[in-house]
Every structure is written in structure tokens, then in C-alpha cells.
């Protein structure tokens, strides 16, 4: 009995102890969960019933100074192919059951090889695939065509992407964003902080399928869209640049060509373009990921003489009527400096004549012999060489000029005429702009304003900024007069760049290409920088042609750069309503037999207009059934080639749509402006092959036009300081100076 009781007590103690231990374990576990594990468990619980979603902002627009959209964020679509039936799809119809047929129908719409699409549709390791032409999402027009096919298993997922409606238009300036929307180049990259906006967030409660519960929003922070960036670019002037570049690129082979148009009074860049170019909508074949206008360093050649000339005049070391002996200039212990006609020169000529003929010897005398190193280099620095201009474009270069570097006498002599030193195009534009505007170095800039995307209010405004005064107004005027003589007087090297009726002043430049410390025979950089009108310049145009492949490469300026300059300058001046001054007799260049000038036809009747155009060698395309000319394209006094077609409008509204086939985008835009209609859709690049408003259809003000373009084939269509100049001349063994009587 005692043993039984003992066993019962022992068992009771064991069970009681077990319950007590379990009780304390439960209390401990409850405490642990409540106070130790609770933060982690709460996170896991929230993951179960809560969902967070990032809200992407809309990237800001890039527009020209007049609001023309150059880059915007729009709807885009990804084509999705379901390769296997859904588990609950009893009919097994919503998948790609016939890959061969599906690939054949998608290929022409997506502009992809059928084999590449079929390869994706035949994959066995995944349930569905994305089909992106070149990795890019497709625009709405393409998505609509895919939808119309109604192919089993083919769907569309709506997203967004960056669009550049004008294709190659100013592409090196605007830049692009990649497949993931990351800014990679140009203003897209430089202004990314302003354009990209700020992401928002949404947190809500969800059901077991992940759907948002009614009233389940816990927190919401809206995305802030990116700001609008307004450029100083003028769409119309940029179109003149693009057109001139396209014509040169189609006619000549060259390594590159660049054009800049600026307002020298403010430093605003009105146009900037280069070839080779690329289409930012699908930048597959980019040859240069930087903008050559700001990033490429090169020897400027004779355009650099403008700075040497300005410095000599400012320092009173220049007398236009003083004579010097041209040909060669000897420097002790170094090869002589020769004039560009193999050192023959033109005998004893005045310094003015030397400027007109672009005599190297004249500028060595002025810069090396008279100004000497310190004064010369001081002016080069004042004009901005050796430093960045600060323009709002990435990867700006400084050039090779460094006043603290050791230069040998021959090096200093060479710098006076633009050899042995590298610069950038934008440095030259700023420096010569100072001569054009009266002696003030202006900071070049290309961003005009930052605006709120919703209210369009100006958030930040960029205004003209004077860096410093580099020369006096009188000096700048004297330089302008001499540059006028370069273009408009006999023996001037700039005569091919003259414009009938306009005072154009400027300077040519021809520089040999240097590689690995040596000049390459037969390789040149041809350039011209000029402004107009000469006394009150409104525009400055710089053209640079690199390594033209022509019979006489050193003549690339006359053959290639001159037509580009004249086309851009003349059309831009006309656009600004600056008509030629026919009363000043300032016409030096006689147009060739194949050239003619557009007459003023406004107010004349149709028969008179036809007769006048016939006499000018032009073909008339009459728009409308009116009797009197109310508008015309091109505008009066535009230079044309005989045989060109011109448009004359006889009614202000309700005219017929002309046939646009074979026309360039610029011509389409000009005609649209003439007809008061809007171009709302542009696909492709090159020349028009289709138009949404058919030829002959009546159009009225505000009608919308879309065009498709394709390539032409598709249409069928120094000396040590302290020494005197006299001593130097004696050591050189030649007396190059003689005072005029």
C-alpha cells in the first residue's frame, strides 16, 4: 500500500511538474512572441495583407524656345506571347498554337525578321515571352496593328517610353534614354535631375489574390512628374541646319561636319547639328557618344587669326596701311613660317591685304614679333581658350592651350595663325561672338528655362551672362570691318561665303589634321565662321568640315562649307525678317547660271506670277482656285536652283493638299505652315512616301497631317621676353616690315 501511494505521489509530482513547466514555457513563449519576435512577425504579417507599389513619374518634355516638342514621354507597348495554355483554360485557345503563322504575320508589323520571332515563339522553357523590335517597346500605331490581327496568345502590355518626334533632328544636343529609361547622352543626361521627376508610392491592403481591398489604402505619395526643359534652340533655324547637313552628307564623303548658329549678343545657341548623326528613337549605330561641337578638340587654322588680330589692334600694334614682306618669316633655329601659297607670298603688301589673303606671315609679325608671348597668351585666355565655356552639355573639352606650359619660339609663332593648339567649336563661337557684339565675351547657353509640367510656370530662367570684356567696341568694329573685307573685297579668302545684299563678315580656316604628333598629308579640317549683318550682327554661323574626300581636300571650305553657311545664314536671316539691303550696293558675288532668286509674288494675279516665275526659271505649283497670290513658299529673295518647284497659295482656306511624295521633313513643315495645318504624326526619316491627307483633298486651317518617310532609295525618288623686336628681326636675317608712305 505504501508503495502504491508512493508511486501515485511520484506520478502526481511528475505530471504536476510537467504541467507547471509547460505553463511557464507557454508564458515565456508568449512573452517572447509579444515582445521579442513581434517586430519581425508584424513585418511578415503585413507582407501577407499589405502591398506597396512604386509610382513612376512622367519624364519631362524637352521643347524648343517656341514650345515645339523635341522629346516627350508617351505610351508604349510590349508584345507578349503566351506559349502554353493556362491551367484553367479548358478550351486551350488563348496561346500561340501556330508559331509559324504567328511569326509570319507579326514580322512585317514589328519590322523584325520572321526567324527571330519564331525562335522566341518556339521556346519550351518558359510559359510566355516578350517580343521587342531591337529591344524597344512599340508605339501605339504599331500596337493597334498587332491588335487588329487578333492572333491567339498575343497580347499587349501598356507601359511608357521616350519619343523623339523628329528623329535625327539635333540628336547630339538632345541625346537619348536607353531601353530602361536611363539618360545616356546630351541634354537628357545633363538635365536628368530636372527631367526625371520624383517617384511616388502607394501602400494598400490586399486579398489573397493580391487585389486591392475597397478602402484599403494605407498611404499614398503621388509621383512628381519631371520638369519641362525649354531650350534656346529655334526649331525653324535648326531645320535649316539639318537640311543643309543632309544635302552635304548625301553629296560628299567626309569624316564629319558640324554647324552652330548663335545669337552673338546673348550667347544663345539657336541651332546645333552634326553628321554623322543617329536616331534617338532607336540609337543602334551611334558612332560618337559625345557632341563634337563641345567635345572634339582640333587645330582651328586661320579662323584663330581673328583673336590675334583683335589683340594686335587693342594693343595698338596694328596699322592696316603698313607694309610688310609676305612669303616667309625666319625664326632662328627653327623652320621658317610660310604663307599658304608654298611660301611664295605676294611681295610687299599692307597688313589689311595680309588679313584678306590670310597671310600666316602677317599674323606671326603681329602676334609673335610684336605682342610677344605674354600679351598674346593673355588675350587667348581672355577670349576663353584653355577653359570650358560652361554650356549645359556634357563632356565639354578645354582644348590644349595652357599658358603655364613651356612653348618654344616656333610653337608660339604657329599659335598666332591657329596651328599647334587645339580648341573646340563652341570656344570659337564664343570668342568670335565677342567681336560681333562689340567686345563682350558671352557665356554660350542652350537651356532657356525650366518650367512646371502642370502649370507651365517658370521655375528657373537662364539669362545672358557676360563673362568679361575682352576688347573695346572700337577694336571690335575694326576687326569686323577687316572681316568684312575678307568676305566682300577682291583677294579675300572668304569670297565664296558672301551673300548678295547682306553684309557678311567672317574668316575661313584650313588646318591640316594632326595625328601622333605629325600632320597627315592630304587630310584637312575646313571651316568658316561668320556673322551678319556686319554692323549689327543678329546671327553667327560656324561650319566645320573634317577630312572631306574630294579631289582637292584643302578646298573643302569653298566646295562644302560655303554652300552650308550660305544656305543656313540666308534662310535664317529671312526667317528673322531681315531682308537684303539692296540700296547699299553691297553685292559682291555673282550667282552662277544655274542659280536664281525667288521673286515677291504677294498681291499679283496667277498669270503674272506664272510669267515672273517662268522668267526666273522656276516651276509653279498653284494651290487653290483664287486669282491673287496670298502666300508663297519660299519667301521672296530666297536663293534657288533653276528648275526648282515653288508653291503659290491663292486662297487663305480650303485649298487642295499637294502631293508630298519625295519631299523632306523640312519641306513638309514649311508647306504645313503655308497651309495653316498641323503635322501631328511623323514616322521614319528621309523623304515622304505616304501622307494621311491625300493629294487633291481640300484642307482647312487646323487640319492634322501625318507622314511616313523613308530613305531616298525607297521613294525612287616665342621669343624670350625682354628682347626687342628689332634684335629679333636682325637675328632672323630678314626685314619683313616697311612703313607705308
Give the residue numbers marked as catalytic: 302
Write out the E strands in 223-263.
Answer: 228-231, 254-262
CA distance 106 to 668: 31
CA terminus-to-terminus distance, the chain? 154
| Cell 492634322, located at residue | 704
**Spatial CA neighbour of 142 closest among 181, 89, 93, 106:** 106
CA distance 599 to 582: 14
CA distance 361 to 323: 12
Q: Are 65 and 230 in contact (CB under 8 A)?
A: yes
Q: How many CA atoms lie within 13 A of 172 on its CB side?
A: 27
3-state secondary structure of 197: coil
Helix boundaries (H) for 437-549: 473-488
Grid coordinates in use for 329? 618669316
Q: Are 513 and 525 in contact (CB under 8 A)?
A: yes
Grid coordinates in use for 527? 571651316
CA distances for 684 relative to 163, 248, 477, 694, 711, angstroms: 12, 20, 47, 19, 9
3-state secondary structure 88-110: CCCCCCCCCCCHHHHHHHHHHHH
**Spatial CA neighbour of 568 closest among 504, 630, 513:** 504
CA distance 562 to 528: 8
CA distance 421 to 612: 53
437 burial (CB, 10 Å; 0-12 / 13-18 / 19+) is buried
**Spatial CA neighbour of 651 closest among 671, 622, 677, 679:** 622
CA distance 417 to 435: 17
**Spatial CA neighbour of 710 closest among 728, 738, 684:** 684
Q: Are 634 and 598 in contact (CB under 8 A)?
A: yes
3-state secondary structure 517-540: CEEEEEEEEEEEEEEECCCCCCEE
Q: Are 55 and 223 in contact (CB under 8 A)?
A: yes
Q: Please count the residues of the chain.
A: 741
CA distance 260 to 528: 11
Strands 154-163 and 69-82, sheet pairing: antiparallel
H or E element in which residue 309 lies: helix 305-314
Those residues with Cβ within 8 angstroms of residue 18's Cβ, 6 or more apart along the chain or in another chain: none
CA 537 to chain centre: 23
Write out the E strands in 16-101.
Answer: 50-55, 62-63, 69-82
Number of helices (H), then strands (E), belonging to the chain: the values are: 23, 32
- Torsion-angle region of 611 (φ positive above 0: left; ψ -120 to 50: alpha; else: beta): alpha
CA distance 252 to 559: 10
Q: Are 111 and 138 in contact (CB under 8 A)?
A: no
**Spatial CA neighbour of 414 closest among 519, 317, 322:** 519
CA distances for 531 relative to 421, 426, 516, 541, 568, angstroms: 24, 15, 34, 6, 11
Amino acid at each position: 500500500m505504501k508503495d502504491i501511494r508512493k508511486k501515485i505521489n511520484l506520478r502526481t509530482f511528475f505530471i504536476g511538474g510537467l504541467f507547471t513547466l509547460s505553463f511557464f514555457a507557454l508564458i515565456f513563449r508568449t512573452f517572447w512572441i509579444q515582445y521579442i519576435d513581434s517586430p519581425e512577425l508584424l513585418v511578415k504579417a503585413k507582407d501577407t495583407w499589405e502591398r506597396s507599389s512604386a509610382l513612376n513619374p512622367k519624364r519631362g518634355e524637352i521643347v524648343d524656345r517656341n514650345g515645339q516638342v523635341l522629346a516627350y514621354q508617351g505610351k508604349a507597348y510590349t508584345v507578349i506571347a503566351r506559349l502554353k495554355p493556362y491551367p484553367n483554360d479548358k478550351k486551350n485557345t488563348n496561346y500561340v498554337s501556330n508559331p509559324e503563322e504567328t511569326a509570319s504575320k507579326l514580322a512585317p508589323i514589328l519590322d523584325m525578321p520572321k526567324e527571330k520571332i519564331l525562335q522566341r515563339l518556339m521556346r519550351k522553357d518558359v510559359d510566355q515571352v516578350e517580343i521587342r523590335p531591337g529591344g524597344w517597346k512599340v508605339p501605339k500605331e504599331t500596337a493597334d496593328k498587332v491588335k487588329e490581327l487578333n492572333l491567339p496568345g498575343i497580347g499587349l502590355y501598356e507601359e511608357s517610353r521616350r519619343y523623339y518626334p523628329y528623329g535625327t533632328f539635333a540628336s547630339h544636343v538632345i541625346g537619348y534614354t536607353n531601353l530602361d529609361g536611363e539618360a545616356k547622352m546630351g541634354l537628357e543626361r545633363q538635365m536628368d535631375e530636372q527631367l526625371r521627376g520624383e517617384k511616388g508610392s502607394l501602400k494598400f491592403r490586399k486579398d489573397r489574390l493580391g487585389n486591392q481591398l475597397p478602402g484599403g489604402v494605407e498611404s499614398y505619395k503621388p509621383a512628381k512628374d519631371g520638369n519641362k526643359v525649354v531650350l534656346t534652340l529655334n526649331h525653324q533655324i535648326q531645320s535649316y541646319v539639318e537640311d543643309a547637313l543632309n544635302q552635304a552628307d548625301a553629296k560628299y564623303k567626309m569624316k564629319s561636319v558640324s554647324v552652330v548658329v548663335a545669337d552673338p549678343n546673348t550667347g544663345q545657341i539657336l541651332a546645333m547639328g552634326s553628321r554623322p548623326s543617329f536616331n534617338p528613337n532607336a540609337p543602334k549605330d551611334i558612332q560618337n557618344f559625345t557632341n563634337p561641337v563641345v567635345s572634339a578638340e582640333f587645330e582651328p587654322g586661320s579662323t584663330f587669326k581673328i583673336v590675334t588680330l583683335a589683340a594686335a589692334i587693342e594693343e595698338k600694334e596694328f596699322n592696316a596701311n603698313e607694309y610688310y614682306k609676305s612669303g616667309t618669316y625666319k625664326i632662328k633655329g627653327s623652320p621658317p613660317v610660310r604663307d599658304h601659297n608654298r611660301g611664295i607670298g605676294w611681295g610687299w603688301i599692307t597688313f589689311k591685304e595680309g588679313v584678306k589673303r590670310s597671310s600666316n606671315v602677317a599674323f606671326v609679325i603681329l602676334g609673335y614679333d610684336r605682342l610677344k608671348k605674354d600679351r598674346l597668351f593673355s588675350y587667348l585666355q581672355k577670349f576663353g581658350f584653355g577653359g570650358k565655356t560652361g554650356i549645359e552639355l556634357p563632356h565639354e573639352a578645354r582644348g590644349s592651350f595652357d599658358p603655364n606650359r613651356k612653348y618654344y619660339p616656333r610653337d608660339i609663332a604657329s599659335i598666332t595663325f591657329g596651328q599647334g593648339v587645339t580648341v573646340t567649336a563652341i570656344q570659337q563661337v564664343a570668342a568670335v561672338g565677342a567681336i560681333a557684339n562689340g567686345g563682350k565675351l558671352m557665356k554660350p547657353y542652350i537651356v532657356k528655362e525650366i518650367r512646371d509640367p502642370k502649370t507651365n510656370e517658370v521655375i528657373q530662367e537662364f539669362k545672358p551672362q557676360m563673362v568679361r570684356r575682352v576688347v573695346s567696341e572700337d577694336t571690335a568694329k575694326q576687326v569686323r570691318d577687316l572681316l568684312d573685307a575678307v568676305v566682300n573685297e577682291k583677294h579675300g579668302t572668304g569670297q565664296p561665303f558672301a551673300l548678295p545684299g547682306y553684309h557678311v563678315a567672317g574668316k575661313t580656316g584650313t588646318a591640316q589634321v594632326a595625328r601622333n604628333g605629325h600632320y597627315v598629308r592630304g587630310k584637312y579640317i575646313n571651316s568658316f565662321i561668320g556673322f551678319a549683318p556686319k554692323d549689327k550682327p543678329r546671327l553667327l554661323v560656324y561650319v566645320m568640315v573634317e577630312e572631306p574626300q574630294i579631289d582637292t581636300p584643302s578646298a573643302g571650305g569653298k566646295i562644302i562649307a560655303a554652300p552650308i553657311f550660305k544656305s543656313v545664314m540666308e534662310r535664317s536671316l529671312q526667317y528673322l525678317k531681315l531682308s537684303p539691303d539692296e540700296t547699299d550696293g553691297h553685292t559682291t558675288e555673282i550667282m552662277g547660271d544655274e542659280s536664281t532668286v525667288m521673286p515677291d509674288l504677294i498681291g499679283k494675279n496667277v498669270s503674272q506670277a506664272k510669267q515672273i516665275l517662268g522668267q526666273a526659271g522656276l516651276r509653279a505649283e498653284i494651290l487653290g482656285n483664287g486669282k491673287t497670290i496670298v502666300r508663297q513658299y519660299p519667301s521672296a529673295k530666297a536663293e534657288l536652283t533653276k528648275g526648282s518647284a515653288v508653291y503659290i497659295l491663292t486662297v487663305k482656306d480650303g485649298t487642295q493638299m499637294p502631293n508630298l511624295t519625295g519631299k523632306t521633313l523640312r519641306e513638309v513643315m514649311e508647306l504645313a505652315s503655308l497651309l495653316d495645318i498641323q503635322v501631328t504624326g511623323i514616322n521614319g526619316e528621309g523623304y515622304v512616301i505616304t501622307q494621311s491627307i491625300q493629294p487633291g483633298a481640300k484642307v482647312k486651317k487646323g487640319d492634322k497631317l501625318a507622314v511616313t518617310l523613308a530613305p531616298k532609295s525607297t521613294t525612287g525618288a616665342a621669343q624670350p621676353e625682354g628682347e626687342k623686336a628689332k634684335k629679333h628681326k636682325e637675328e632672323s636675317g630678314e626685314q619683313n616690315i616697311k612703313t607705308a608712305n
